[in-house]
Structure 1
Amino acid sequence: MYLFKFHRPLTAITLGLVTHCASAALQPMAEAPLASDTALHCHFNRDNSIDCTTTYHYTILKPNGREMLSRIDFDYAEGDTLEVLKAQSTQPGAKPVNLDATQIDTRTAPNPDQGFSRDKQTSLAFPNLRVGTHIRYTVREHRAAKPLMTQFHYALKFGPNGDRRDQFKARFTAEKPIQWRSESFDGFNVTRSADGKTLDLVQKKPTYLNYINEATNAATRKNPRIEVGSSLERQAYFGDVARRYNQILDARLPAQSAAAVAAARSLSPADQVGALMQHINEHYRYLGDWRATERGYVPFNLDEIEQHGYGDCKDLAILLTAMLKASGIQAETAWVSRGEVADSLLIPGTSAPNHAIVRAEVDGQVWWLDPTNPVFAPGQTLPDIQDRWVLVNNAAGQVREEHIPLERPEITQRINKQVHYDKQGNGATQATLAFSRMPLMQLSVADRQQGSTATDQDICANFGNGISDCKVTRQPTAFLVHDGYTITVQMNDQRALEKLADGYVYTDQSLKDRWDGFINYRRQGQQGDLYLGNPETVDFTVTLTGGQMEKAIPGCQVRSPWYDLDLDGKLMDNGLQYHYRLSQKTRWLTPAEIASDAFGKLIDEAQACAEQVHQVVKL
């Protein structure tokens, strides 16, 4: 996707376009390592706490199934409880044997990477597992009600999995009528009682959904899922929480935050936002404190956040909102589902979002601000919160739904590269690179996390496999980045041309290789949606001198809903210059899109376009 790739990207996106695979398909049901039979019963209590009893029954079908059941963990909050009611294993041809109490262990769960808690973890370790063993255990969980939660909301999702799901049934009961909505749920029967207080789900037939040999940037975005709740109205779920947020925002700013607002007051609104984001990044770290109490959606108050010097997403979001409002910038807290894949909003309940951000209006534009990230580009929305619903809390405590738009494919990399060949086919290379938007943010994060020396080595490595004497000249990056950051690179490329017989061949691999992964995908019948990342445009100008080129470049244009490509060039007395611009216009490609005739036409035209650059060179 990007010409330049860094070892530690900003988010968990895959930077390569497609990984080449031997084949791709749904794994046959006969190869399933486990068979499962699950029965779930959850009761939603009047205080919105939940009691769930679940019986799990597994049959080990393949040796790998033993490893999948080697240790079975249950994590739960400190204020919740989990009880193992029954656990037994049955060897082939033998009687059931109860799990000894010494094989059940409860302890404090490991802390998350960016937070600390006192969550508990109960683990089961069944002895003597082998193919044919049956494992059955029943657990009862009590989940305490979260602060200010006046409704219940529960979600079930069935994605690709390593076990063959022979049976699954669930019963939900409540003290008040249950509402439900589902997606891709044809494989289940759903029955609601006459009074609406009981909902039964029964899987229709055995199911095994496990993809093999898919690309590393593939995902399934449409999975069977159902959500149940006591309401379908977002205000019912978030009204009390929204009012609490506004109570926190009404408090006076703490001294350190007030001083930062005062220091930025003379700046333009856009620069004020940048200064306040910079302040939070310098003075606060992203760290959640979930010890002793389950705060749920409720942030610490402003004084507590400043005293801690850290916070999770809701803490930093409400602090930033308060600082922006004190600066005279319209700002509101918002809740969103963060990640590459954004499910549609079935029920606008408290289980739907997983992240808090800030909606700000800056110079007539809406900015979506996430103060938990280690980099900030004014006006840019990061990929993990783009193109999805968002729930916004206004000053009156009313929660509305908006949509965060997809970024436009603006120019993110502008590269001017000159290569001069010697008689042995080596290339003295110099290049100017202008980075903007997501590649620039990734560059800043790479410098921050691994140091500029390692990043410079990455930049050099992206020019080829025979690079030596590479020198990178650039200014230091920072938390706050602006489009048009420039880098100059000088190097020798000992594999600038490919030696063939008595001549040499030049190929622009960055233009040619882009389409190979799609060809493999179509040939192998892959099934996943492909994640491409931010829409973007790259602009390349390449000048080759020191040799006689075989042919002129007539130029070409390719247009499609997914990519646009423009190429032109001219022969010179001692070489060739060409220019191309490639725009990627979407974040995701579906299997139907990639398999379509229109996408096949795009590949053919783009390959023919890239072939124009292929040259026989005489030195």
Structure 2
Amino acid sequence: MSRSVFYRPLICAGLGLLSWQACAAYQPQSEAALAAASEMECQFNADHSSDCTTTQHYTILTSAGREMLSRIDFSSAETDGFELLKAESTQPGGKPLALASGQIDTRTAPNPEQGFLREKQTSLAFPNLRVGTRISYTVRQHYAAKPLLGEFHAILQFGPKPVRQDSFKITYRATRPIIWRSEQMDDYRFSASADRKKLTIEQKAPVYLNYINEPSIGFIQRVPRVELGSSTDVREYFGPLAQRYQQILGASLPPAGAKAVAGLRDLPPAERVAGLMQYIADNYRYLGDWRATERGYVPFELAQIEQRGYGDCKDLAILLAAMLKASGIKAETAWVSRENVAAPMLIPGTHAPNHAIVRAEVDGKVWWLDPTNPVFNPGRSMPDIQERWAFVSDANGQVREDYIPLEAPDTSLVLDKQEHFDSNGQARVNARIEFSNMELMQLMVADSQNGIASNDQSLCERFTRELRDCQIQREPTAFVTPKTYKVKASLTDLKPLENISGNYFYKAPALEGDWDFLVNYRRNGQLADLYIGDTYTLRYSFTLSGARLDKDIQACNVRSPWFDMDLRSERVKGEYRYHYRLSQKKRWLSHDEIISAPFDAMVGQAKACAEQTRQLVQLKAAGKNT
């Protein structure tokens, strides 16, 4: 059932929020790698800069803790400030020893993979780390004000980690009253001054929370977190930015962009959008230039973006919006949180989103366009921006909150597979496949990244690992997905049947799904929520010939909020056919849903339905007709 979700790591620098991925089933506290005590003081200044002083203590509890503290790095932008006030280590039974200057290294941090970023990095290497060693440091950090930000906003969250947090205390001060919103913060005490310009958050008792033995698609969607700000109005946070975006959009398109728009003028709206997405994909690459850190959340001018031929999310989004508007399509830039886990909105501040996209109205429908993706499926939002809020900047420089809905589970894969068994128990396979939506986008990206020859081999191995003479027939893929994409495959399956004590059994592996995976989740007492990817519908037909099957399966249907499933069979002129449909209707399966009685009943029904395809097969002797 699970589908891998692809996208390049294109999050804009400076806008990020971490999502906590965890392997879950509670890890015992006795296995904690470190014990920590933390104290912080942060000041939101009148000029919208901020200053924080942090004192951190760690005690190494296991050898894994030594590796975690092998080197401690601090990075800061050129316009920010960083000062190491104190660093020392204490061996068991010993006295504190100050860190020598030779074990403190300050240099220019390396550039990220897809951009330029001038940051200074200070690294600490404490000597003689062993179990029982205690290290301590105090740092002071200054964060310069970003342009056009008239409100302060901060996020504090506590994700699972192999650290026993013995104490935590942070005090915020501001020149204006502090507003805060939180979730799952029962383990923390909030104390505010009468004028609300001072807020202290303190841990009530030691906490250890870490998870083990969960699948790779397991996430902890909700973690303790608190957000602080000076307003709860999105317009006050993003209004000045929206006005600057409109100023940039008000400029004339640069020459190449204007020529591209003119060339698409006579096409229908949907084709104009696809043409402009194709133009940006062909002529621009994702590469962020964050050296001018005072730019903050503001894109470059349109002419600068065209001259460079690259940009980050906000640069490419504003260029696309400008070209769409010039072509007569209503388009607005928008800010979203782009990741699988989309936390509920607490405060609509500038640290809530981490990505810029475009909201367009095409033939009376809303399209959410992301020009940083390596493929474009017209009219369908990518799964990493579905089911979440979006802040939209309109033509008047105003900002409103919108919502990107979950996409319907439209058909993603149609498979018509014919298997003819020979007397040796092998099968000649011929198949026709129609790809759409996410299945097609994954195929197209794999073609682009790995090459067609490599991807054809992967297509063959989706049928069976033991094969020969596999041939794939298909047209080249492109950036814009068609409605459907057809592939023909032919191969010899060397082991389509299971031989048990001389008896051959057939089962349709594609119909088994991951039901056992969900059964084991409950059996193993796992705790994470499962991210199962974009909604989809699969339709399969299997035609078996060259053998006799011992029984007809009973038609079965499953209906639930999570999955719908249908299976039936028929005999036609000596052939046996299965017809199967599976619809995944959600992107997430929460822990509470998975352990519920209705979900358990659904899994049991689906598993029983699919297991009917296991059939005793009588092979035809050589030289005889079926």
TM-score band w.r.t. shorter chain: over 0.9
In 2: Cα distance, 1:312 partner to 1:528 partner: 33
1:9 Cα deviation from its structure 2 partner: 3.8
- Distance in 2, Cα, partners of 1:451 & 1:119: 36
Number of the residue aligned with 2:16:
none
Pairwise CA distance, 1:92: 0.2
TM-superposed CA distance for 1:136, in Å, is 0.5
What's 2:57 paired with?
57
Per-residue Cα deviation, 1:280-307 (whole angstroms, up to 9, x for no partner): 0011001100114331110000000000
Q: Determine the structure 2 residue equivalent to 1:391.
A: 391
- Alignment match, 2:510: 510
- Aligned AA for 1:531? Y
Q: Deviations 1:447-506 (Å, cap 9, x if unpaired)?
A: 111111111111111111211111111000001111210000000000111112222100
Task: Point out the more displaced range, 368-377 or 501-510.
Answer: 501-510
Cα drift, residue 48 of structure 1: 0.5
CA distance in 1, matches of 2:553, 2:292: 69
1:2–1:224 distance in 2 versus 1, CA, 3 Å: closer
Which digits, 9 at most, give the CA deviation of each residue in 1:18-44, with x for residues without a partner?
Answer: xxxxx9620011110100000011101
Residue aligning to 1:138:
138
Q: What's the secondary structure of 1:212's corresponding residue? A: coil
Cα distance in 1 for partners of 2:600, 2:377 equals 36
Match of 1:233 in 2: 233
Would you say the 8 A contact 1:92–1:132 is kept in 2?
A: yes
State the distance in 1 between where 2:527 and 2:433 align: 36
Alignment of 1:323-338 (within 5 A): 323-338=323-338
CA distance in 2, matches of 1:24, 1:165: 18
**CA shift at 1:508, angstroms?**
1.4
Structure 1 residues 102-141: aligned runs within 5 Å: 102-141=102-141
In the alignment, is residue 441 of structure 1 matched against residue 441 of structure 2? yes
What corresponds to 1:554 in structure 2? 554
Letter of the 2:546 counterpart: G
Q: Which moved more, 1:506-515 or 1:433-442?
A: 506-515
Letter in 1 for 2:543: T
Structure 1 residue runs of 4+, over 2 Å off?
8-12, 571-575
**Could you tell me whether the CA contact under 8 Å between 1:10 and 1:442 is conserved in 2?**
no
Query: What's the secondary structure of 2:514's corresponding residue?
Result: helix
What is the letter of the counterpart of residue 128 of structure 1?
A: N
**How far has the Cα of 1:74 moved from its partner?**
1.1
Asked if the contact 1:10–1:445 (Cα under 8 Å) also holds between the matched residues in 2, the reply is no
Aligned to 2:287: 287
Where structure 2 has 5 or more consecutive residues not aligned to the other structure, the ranges are 10-22, 620-626
Three-state SS of the structure 2 residue aligned to 1:539 is strand
Q: Deviation at 1:341?
A: 0.4
Alpha carbons 2:24, 2:210 under 8 Å: kept: no
Alignment of 1:142-153 (within 5 A): 142-153=142-153
Shift of 1:279: 0.5
1:30 maps to: 30
Instruction: Give CA-to-partner distance per residue, 1:229-271, whole Å, 9 cap, x none.
Output: 1111111111110000000000000000000000000000000
Secondary structure of residue in 2 paired with 1:300: coil
Q: Tell me which residue corresponds to 2:17.
A: none
Map 1:409-488 onto structure 2 (within 5 A): 409-488=409-488
Give distance in 1, aligned partners of 2:315 and 2:113.
17
Identity of aligned pairs, percent?
56
Aligned counterparts of 1:611 and 1:67: Cα–Cα separation in 2: 47
Which whole-Å CA distance do the structure 2 matches of 1:78 and 1:467 have between them? Answer: 58
How many pairs are equivalent?
Answer: 606
Q: Measure the CA separation in 1 of the matches of 2:387 and 2:357.
A: 15
What is the rounded CA distance, in whole Å, between the counterparts of 1:358 and 1:292 in structure 2? Answer: 24
For residue 172 of structure 1, give the secondary structure of its aligned residue in structure 2: strand
CA contact (8 A) 2:24 2:528 kept: no
2:314 maps to 1:311? no
Per the alignment, residue 372 of structure 2 pairs with: 372
Deviations for 1:380-417, whole angstroms, at most 9, x for unmatched residues? 10011010000000111111001100010111000000
SS, match of residue 94 in structure 1: coil
| Residue of structure 1 in register with 2:298 after alignment | 298
Q: Tell me the SS of whatever aligns to 2:520.
A: helix
2:89 maps to what in 1? 89
1:169-209 alpha-carbon deviations (Å, 9 max, x no partner): 00000111111111111111111110111000001111111
Aligned residue runs from structure 1 range 159-238, under 5 A: 159-238=159-238
Cα deviation digits, residues 403-447 of structure 1 (max 9, x gap): 100010111000000000000110100111100001111111111
| SS at 2:295 equivalent | coil
Letter paired with 2:315 = D
Q: Tell me the distance in 2 between the aligned counterparts of 1:264 and 1:521.
A: 52
Gaps of 5+ in 1: 13-22
State the partner residue of 1:520. Answer: 520
**Are the counterparts in 1 of residues 444 and 479 from structure 2 also a CA contact under 8 Å?**
yes
1:11 positional shift: 5.9
Output the CA distance in 1 between the equivalents of 2:169 and 2:148.
31
Give the 5 Å matches for 1:600-611: 600-611=600-611
CA contact (8 A) 2:417 2:541 kept: yes
Q: Could you tell which deviates more after superposition, 602-611 or 43-52?
A: 602-611
Quick check: 1:78–1:292 contact (8 Å CA) kept in 2? Answer: no
TM-score, length-scaled by structure 2:
0.95
Partner Cα separation in structure 2 for residue 90 and residue 347 of structure 1: 41
**Alpha-carbon shift at residue 116 of structure 1 (Å):** 1.1
CA change 1:428–1:10 in 2 (3 A) is: farther
Secondary structure in 1 matching 2:342: coil
2:324 match: secondary structure: helix
Partner SS state of residue 211, structure 1: coil
Contact 1:162 / 1:210 at 8 angstroms: preserved in 2? yes
Q: Which amino acid aligns with 1:164?
A: R
Alignment root-mean-square deviation, CA: 1.2
Structure 2 counterpart of 1:577: 577
Work out whether residues 286 and 313 of structure 2, in 8 Å CA contact, stay in contact via their aligned partners in 1. yes
* Aligned-partner residue type, residue 280 of structure 1: I
Which residue pairs with 1:20 in the alignment? none
CA distance in 2, matches of 1:353, 1:233: 15
Partner of 1:586: 586
Cα offset, 1:600, TM superposition: 1.0
Structure 1 residue 274 corresponds to structure 2 residue 274: yes
Contact 2:24–2:218 (Cα < 8 Å) also in 1: no
Structure 1 residue 507: Cα displacement: 0.9
**Alpha carbons of structure 1 residues 170 and 24: separation in structure 2 relative to 1, 3 Å:** closer
1:588 counterpart letter in structure 2? W
* CA displacement 1:542-572 (0-9 Å, x = unmatched): 0010000010022100111100100110134
Greater shift in the superposed pair: 569-578 or 275-284? 569-578
Alignment of 1:608-619 (within 5 A): 608-619=608-619
Given residue 452 of structure 2, which amino acid in structure 1 is its aligned partner? S
Residue 185 of structure 2 aligns to a residue whose secondary structure is coil
Aligned-partner residue type, residue 108 of structure 1:
T
Question: 2:610 & 2:577 partners in 1: Cα distance?
Answer: 14
Identify if the C-alpha distance between structure 1 residues 317 and 43 changes in structure 2 by more than 3 Å, giving closer, same or farther: same
Query: Which letter does structure 2 place at the counterpart of 1:72?
Result: I
For residues 77-131 of structure 1, the C-alpha deviation after alignment (integer angstroms, 9 at most, x for no partner) is 1211111100000000000000011111111112111111111111111000000
